[in-house]
Every structure is written in C-alpha cells, then in structure tokens.
Amino acid sequence: MRHAKNYTSADWSGDWKTLTGLIPYLLEYKSRVAAAMLFLIFAKLANVTIPIILKFIVDDLDSAKAQVLSVPFALLFAYGALRFGTVLFGELRDAVFARVTERAMRRVGLDVFQHLHRLELDFHLSRRTGGLSRDIERGTTGISFLLRFMLFNIIPTLLEIGMVAAILLFKYSAWFAIITCAAVMIYILFSVLVTEWRTRFVREMNEMDNRSNTRAIDSLLNFETVKYFANERYEAEQYDRNLAHWETARLKNRLSLAALNSGQGFIIACSIMAMMMLAAKQVAAGHMTLGDLVLVNAYMIQLFIPLNFLGFVYREIKNALTNIEKMLGLLKQTPQITDKPGATPLKPDGGGIRFENVSFAYNPARPILQNISFEVPAGTKTAIVGPSGAGKSTIARLLFRFYDINNGNITINGQDIRDITQASLRNAIGIVPQDTVLFNDTLHYNIQYGKPDADNNTIQQVTQLAHLDEFIKQLPEGFDTLVGERGLKLSGGEKQRVAIARTLLKNPCIMIFDEATSSLDSNAEKAIIAALNEVAENRTTVAIAHRLSTIVDADNIIVLNNGHIEEQGAHQELLTRNGLYAELWKHQQQEADEATVSV
C-alpha cells in the first residue's frame, strides 16, 4: 500500500508540473483568457437560474394563479432567454479562447521542433523516428484537449456543483446539500482511483502503438532492402507481432473503461434515487411544492449530466497529460553541444584549420582518435586517407562540432571552435558527404537548400559546375522533379551531384569532401574532380578519400591508421617512403589494372 501511495503522489506531482509547464504559453493572450473566464461564469449563472425559473412556472401553473396567463408567459420567456444565454455565453467563451489554444499548440510544437534541432547528433542517431513523431503528434493534440476541457468543463462543473449545493442548503433541507456533496465526492474519488489504475494500460497501449508505428516506418523507409531479400513476409510478421501486443493492451484498456463507466453509473443512479425519495417525502408532507420537486430533479439531472461527462474528461485529461508529459520531456533533453556564454562568431578571414593533440571516442572503451595533430593552412588542400574505421569521417564531424573532443584543441583562424557560435562555424563549412540524403521534394528545393534565398541564375550556375545540368534537361519536369523519400528516385551519382551543387551554392570558405565522388563512374569522376578543384581554389579544402587517385594533387596527405597519424606529406613524397600510403596506392593500382583487363 505504501508503494502505491508513493506512486500516486509522484504521478500527481508529475501532472502538476506538466500543467504548470503550459502556463507560459497561455500568458500571450491574458485579456482573452480573462474574457473567456467571464463568459464562463455568465454561462453557469444562467444555467443555475434555469431550474429556479422552472419551479416558478410549475407552481404558477399548479395554482389558481395559472389563470393569469401573463405571469407564466413572462416566466416562459425568461426560461427561453436563459437557455439561449447559456448557449450564447458558451459559444462566445469558445470563440474568444480559440486563439489562445491554437497559439499554444503552435508555440509548443515550434519549441519542440527547434529543441530537437539543438540536440546533438548522437541523440538523432539513436532516436526512433516513428515513435518520436507519434509522441509529438499526440502531445500537441493533448494540449488542445487539455486547455479546452480543463478550463471549460472541470472548473465550470465544480463551480456549478458549489452553486447548486449552496441553493439546496439555504432554500431546503441540509440533507439535499449533504447528499449532493457526498455523491459528488464519492463519484470523483471513484473516478480518480480507477483512472489512476487505468493509466498504466493507456501508457502500455501508447507504447505498443509507438513500436508498431516505428516498425512500419522503418520497414517502408528500407523498402528496397526488404525487396532485395524478399522479406515481405518477415516484415509483416514483425509488424503483426507488435500489433498483437497493441491489441492486447487496447483490450485491457477497453475492459477497464467498462468497469469505470459501470461504477460511475451506479453512483449516479443511487444519488438521484436518494434525492428524489427525500424530495417526494417533503412534498407529501407539505413542506415543498410540486415546483420544488421539479427544481430538485432538474438540478440533479443538470448536475449529473456534466458530472458524468466529467468522468470522461478526467480520463481523457489523464491521457492528454501522459502524452504532453512525453512530448515536453523532449524539451528536458539537455543538448550536449552548446554555445559558451559570450561565444563570438567565427572570424571570416581565411579558413586555416589546426588540430592539436586531439583525442576522441564515441565510447570510452573504443578510442577513435588518439593524440593527433595536423594543420591545414588557409587556401590549401589536405587529404585524409586510411583504412576503413581509421577515423577519417570522425574528423569531419568534430570539425562541424557535432561532438566535443575529449582532449586537445581544434582551431579555425586561431579560434577554438568551442569558443565560437555553432551557427557561424557551420555557415563557414560546406560538406559533400559520402551518403547523400535528400528531402522528399523537388530537385530545385534540394539544390536551393544550400542557400534558401539564392536566385535561379545562381542555382543554374552551380548545377553546371556540378555537371548536373544535362541530367536535369533530360527530365520531363526538370527542376520540379520530385526526388522521393531520402532521394531514392535518383542514382547514387546523381544524389552526389545534387550535394555538390548545393554545397557550391552555400559558398563556404572551408570545403569538406567526404568520399564526394564515390558513387560516380570514371568519366563523371574526372569531370567533377576538375570542377571541385576549380571551386576549391582560394578555399581551405579537406578531402576524405578512399580512392587515392582523386587526391594526388593535394598539398598534404594525412594517412590515418587505428586513430593515429602514421605519415603525412605530398603524394610523391609518401610513395618514396614506401609506407602505408605506398602500400594502399599499390593495392589500388593493382585493382584498377585487374578491372581494366577483365573489361
């Protein structure tokens, strides 16, 4: 029992934190919130007055005064006016508050989106996109539900309960107020306890929903891989297994809901029966009129209709709080890579790069770079080569500051990259990655992404430099051709040319080519290497290469092996040393000769 109590207390504490976390999003429209609350009070006052008018109508019609038709007609007019007033004030309340709700959803969604982009690369490499998108979708929907129903159903219902109890207490027997308050307290207590018990089934259902959705998205994103291995049946079995868990969790949720609804209905039936028996006894004794009996009955029906709805609202609010808590939890993810207080922009002059005694490991048990030092003078070209897993691409990630190094310093123009703003650092560097991923949009959009405000003439120029213009001319829709999910409608070489074009459009002072021509044939490779050499003039260039023939013109070639710099120098100098570089060169030349002979 102690454990359950602690869990409930912690759960309520978490709900309260979630609620208070939404308050800043409501303060943008304080006047609208105040006006909505005022309309809410007017609506409830009108609603509580209706049974009183109904009592007078019944009493007048039941007495000799019923012959004076002007009195009932006046009361009937007031009855209709109050009914209309209840609806009118409710609609005005919703209309005034609509902007508050929609703006809160917009601001929270934007904050989460921006925060996700502030998180480090490691978070995004580990995330499950399908589940993450569902969390955000359910969270924003939950905000809308919570703001509307928390403010306009729970609070008004409690306000109405207080008004009805006060009227019954002062106008009739205290027993009416006691029965009303007792029924409401029992109803709320029962709803809270059972809903708390049900919350675990809701969370389990959402978790299973996330898993099945993540599995489906992963499978569809890897559509070609599924086809390559003819694993459609396997994927369907995996998806169905997740759906089976979701089905079980959903069934538990349904059954527990039935138990909750049945209990709430029993409480309502017993309380109404007790009130009506007490009222009927008072009428028979002559202490109450027939109109009083109608008033009590109207109050009980009027009270328990929203109270019954309150049970549904509370359940949904708990669901909404669970969803919002998960979404807002993303905002609590602390970015590991942040700008220092007082960080300054990168100086625009030059682009000299220096690594000094740099060590780095993704996992402490497996070091990637160990105490490496090298320099790339401004305006020169440096190539980084070595076996797979030597740490070549890691150097590019560190230069972009996707990760912070464990030891040493990385400087650009003499400035430590940890002391400058991330935005200015990344604006100064352009990269053509080995694995180019494109947006599911047009070719024009993907090229223009390098500089969103670029004009069409500039875009045409960079497509020519990237030798992409002839390919685009052959397409029926030209620049408006859709590239598909992750650019899968394009070949590997075509995607790399798009990547080269948008990097040229960015026009950075530092260029990084990470296997930039790995997906090109020999003729295209020669043409693009010539173009890259042309645009790399007067820029600091780092070329990460596996194919050594693409970097023979580099001013300096750094040979990485097991996280260490084994040797560095110009192409001919390294060949004469007869070290690892010469061995790699000899091996690749033999492969090229064998490929030529086989053709």
Percent of the chain with pLDDT over 70: 86
Say whether pLDDT at 45 is over 70: yes
Which CATH homologous superfamily contains domain 18-331?
ABC transporter type 1, transmembrane domain (1.20.1560.10)
160/420: higher pLDDT: 420
Q: Is 580 exposed, middle or buried (0-12, 13-18, 19+ CB in 10 A)?
A: middle
Look-up: residue for tokens 């390919």? 471
Least reliable range by pLDDT among 129-138, 140-149, 257-266, 553-562: 129-138
User: What are the pLDDT digits (tens) for 322-377?
Assistant: 778 777 777 777 788 888 898 899 886 777 899 999 999 888 888 889 999 999 99
Neighbour tally for 515: CB within 10 Å:
19
Contact between 256 and 269 under an 8 Å Cβ cutoff? The reply is: no
Q: Is 516 helix (H, G, I), strand (E, B) or coil?
A: coil
Least reliable range by pLDDT among 29-43, 137-151, 173-187, 244-258: 137-151
What residue ranges do the domains of the chain occupy? 18-331, 347-428+510-520+537-599, 431-507
Mean pLDDT of the chain: 80
pTM score over 0.75 = no
Beta-carbon contacts of residue 522 (< 8 Å; ≥ 6 apart)? none
Residue 535's pLDDT band, with cuts at 50, 70 and 90, is: low
- Looking at residue 6, what is its pLDDT? 40
End-to-end CA distance of the chain: 79
Long-range contacts for 221-227 (Cβ within 8 Å, ≥24 apart)? 221/485, 221/486, 224/488
- Looking at residue 5, what is its pLDDT? 39
The secondary element (H helix, E strand) that includes residue 374 is strand 369-376
Q: CATH topology of 18-331 equal to that of 347-428+510-520+537-599?
A: no
Query: Which is nearest to 373 in space by CA: 583, 511, 556, 572?
Result: 556
Q: What is the mean pLDDT of residues 268-290?
A: 80
Q: What's the Cα-to-Cα distance from 387 to each of 217, 391, 393, 394, 583, rounded to whole Å?
A: 34, 9, 12, 13, 11
* Pairing verdict, β 369-376 and 415-416: unpaired
* CATH code of the domain made up of 431-507: 3.40.50.300
Rounded to the nearest angstrom, the gap between the alpha carbon of residue 107 and the centroid of all alpha carbons in its chain is 12
Label residues 81-102 b or e (16+ Cβ within 10 Å = b): ebeebbeebbebbeebbeebbe
Contact between 43 and 89 under an 8 Å Cβ cutoff? The reply is: yes
Say whether pLDDT at 69 is over 60: no
Say whether pLDDT at 1 is over 50: no
Q: What is the DSSP letter of 407?
A: E
* Pairing verdict, β 556-561 and 564-569: antiparallel
Q: What is the DSSP letter of 153?
A: I
Question: Is the Cα dihedral 99, 101, 105, 110 positive or negative?
Answer: positive
Contact between 98 and 37 under an 8 Å Cβ cutoff? The reply is: no
Say whether pLDDT at 226 is over 70: yes
User: What are the pLDDT digits (tens) for 425-479?
Assistant: 988 888 888 777 788 888 898 888 888 888 889 888 888 888 888 888 888 888 8
User: What are the pLDDT digits (tens) for 489-520?
Assistant: 877 778 888 888 888 888 888 888 887 666 56
Structure tokens at 43: 């609506």
Residue 145's pLDDT band, with cuts at 50, 70 and 90, is: confident
Q: Is 301 helix (H, G, I), strand (E, B) or coil?
A: helix
Q: Is 434 exposed, middle or buried (0-12, 13-18, 19+ CB in 10 A)?
A: buried
CA distance 511 to 504: 9
Options 3.90.1150.10, 3.30.70.100, 3.40.50.300, 2.40.30.10; which CATH number does 347-428+510-520+537-599 get? 3.40.50.300
Q: Rounding to the nearest 10 degrees, give the CA dihedral for residues 447, 451, 454, 458.
A: -60
CA distance 167 to 169: 5
Q: Is 5 helix (H, G, I), strand (E, B) or coil?
A: helix
